[in-house]
Amino acid sequence: MWGVAACALIIASVLLIWKDKERFEQCHKWMMYTMVGGGWLFVLLYFAGYYFRSEPVDVPRSLVPWFAVHGTLALVALLGATLLLATRDTSDRGFFPGTGLIDRLNNRHRLYGTVVALLWLFTHIGGIVNLYLLR
């Protein structure tokens, strides 16, 4: 369900950008907190379900590379979104002084955010595909 909800939020945000930029700016921060929080909750529930599962999941060997790529890209997207969200209201004075990392992330927020959103959309669509592959 989280994959479907996150895809809907991403698509809704793109439609809001095209239709009404002011409204998008107002709800963007709330949407990002929701998606990042939901993403981390999903990861925690996924690992808990994997750890406490009584029967192991039988994954065909041919699908192992797909699941490895899917999981890696999903975590890269989640870590990227978390980093962008965490650095948005901070400056280099407190974190990594003298490196310019935080300011660079904030100055290129739109570019990095677009890349992360595309990765996130791809991995969520892949998660929906995974449901059908494992049935």
pLDDT in tens, 5-26: 777 777 777 777 767 777 777 7
Q: Is residue 85 within 8 Å of 36, Cβ to Cβ?
A: yes
Residues sharing a CB contact under 8 Å with residue 129, sequence separation 6 or more, in sequence order: none
Tokens of 12: 């809704």
- Per-domain residue ranges for the chain? 2-133
CB neighbours of residue 6 within 10 Å: 21
The rounded distance, in Å, linking the Cα atoms of 121 and 4 is 10
The rounded distance, in Å, linking the Cα atoms of 42 and 47 is 9
What does pTM read for this prediction? 0.76
Across 2-6, 56-60, 67-71, least confident range: 2-6
Residue appearing with tokens 């978390």? 82
